[in-house]
Structure 1
Amino acid sequence: MMVSSPKDDRTGALTHIGVRGEARMVDVSEKDATSRVAIAEARVRMGRATLQAILAGDAKKGDMIGAARIAGIMAAKKTADLIPLCHPLQLSKIEVDIKPDESLPGLKVRAEARCVGPTGVEMEALTAVAVACLTVYDMAKAIDRGMSIEGVRLVEKRGGKSGEWRMGGG
């Protein structure tokens, strides 16, 4: 279930495809700069022993959670360099939170991105969680190549013409 604002007037058209089918960057020059927020999440599933090694700091490469958090922040700042048609934004906040979850077992990653601008920060939040998860995988692959990165998704966005959107039940 997805919750959208009644102001959500999308027609279902792909905005990054021009009338002749060519890829294009969306023109946001006429849009108002508003406060924008996006929250994304993902998880890295791993063996229990791998999670325990990460939490104990026993991995050869050191503080994995700290390194993954910094990698996610850095990636959010480089999103427009990674995603070809993404607008470069001046982020006012990027926060990456990584918590152990014994029930997976693994790590849950959540990122919040904020800016004031003419377009949203969904891609920055998604990039942050994806790269944080990839960093965990890279640092722990020597002890667990069977890890999986799962559930990379946007869970909330606020601001702009389309208003608020939340992933239902999440």
Structure 2
Amino acid sequence: MLTHFNKQQRARMVDVSHKQATERIAVAKTRVIMQPATLETIEQGKISKGDVLAVAQVAGVMAAKKTSELIPMCHPIFTTGVDLTFEKISEDTLEIEATVKTVGVTGVEMEALTAVSVAALTIYDMCKAIDKQMSIGPTYLVKKTGGKSNFIHPERTVDSE
């Protein structure tokens, strides 16, 4: 049952005041696919706009903290931790993973998904002058823990906590 609609079938922010605060963790991933030369230039630190991964790291953390300002029905939450990692998984593909934590009454799935999305968009922005063909995705929730339910994506590998 979808709970994001009121009696008039209009969108609402779900009332979570009755829920118990628990530790909640979400992990999300995405990929940026680019020309091999672009990824090599990023690794060598030769992108003219600066250290691409350092800027993307900060952008991802900032995005996680501002998720409720971007997603209309997303609750503002107190994040207790946000971490992003970047891994070259092939000559043309960079994988981004975000882990977001809180102790609260609602989960942090949207914060993790927003973090990887904005980090990927930041990479695109910083590299678009040399590679406009970059693509982003798939973007997905790897896992979430805490609250009433846990989730592990059945078709994706889970290799982080």
TM-score by length of 2: 0.94
TM alignment of 1:60-99, pairs within 5 A: 60-99=48-87
SS at match of 1:120: coil
2:135 aligned with 1:167, yes or no? no
Deviation at 1:15, TM superposition (A): 2.0
Unaligned stretches of 5+ residues in structure 2 = 157-161
Aligned partner of 2:100: which letter? Answer: A
List runs of 5+ in structure 1 lacking aligned partners: 1-12
Q: Give the C-alpha shift of residue 16 in structure 1.
A: 1.3
The amino acid across from 1:138 in the alignment is D
Counterpart of 2:51, as a letter, is D
Identity over aligned pairs, percent: 50
Comparing 124-133 with 93-102, greater Cα deviation is found at: 93-102
Aligned equivalent of 1:10: none
Match for residue 53 of structure 1 among 38, 41, 46: 41
> How many equivalent residue pairs?
156
1:18 shift after superposition: 2.1
SS at match of 2:4: coil
Following TM superposition, the consecutive aligned residue runs of length 4 or more in structure 1 with deviations greater than 6 angstroms are none
Aligned residue identity for 2:79: L
| Aligned: 1:125 with 2:123 | no
Q: Does 1:17 align with 2:5?
A: yes
Other-structure match for 1:33: 21
Aligned AA for 1:35?
E
Alpha-carbon distance in structure 1 between the residues aligned to 2:89 and 2:50: 20
Match of 2:96 among 109, 119, 122: 109
Answer yes or no: is 1:142 the counterpart of 2:120. Answer: no
The residue type equivalent to 1:127 in the other structure is T
Instruction: Return the letter of the residue paired with 2:152.
Output: R
The 2-side partners of 1:95 and 1:126 are apart by 12
* TM-score (structure 1 length as normaliser): 0.89
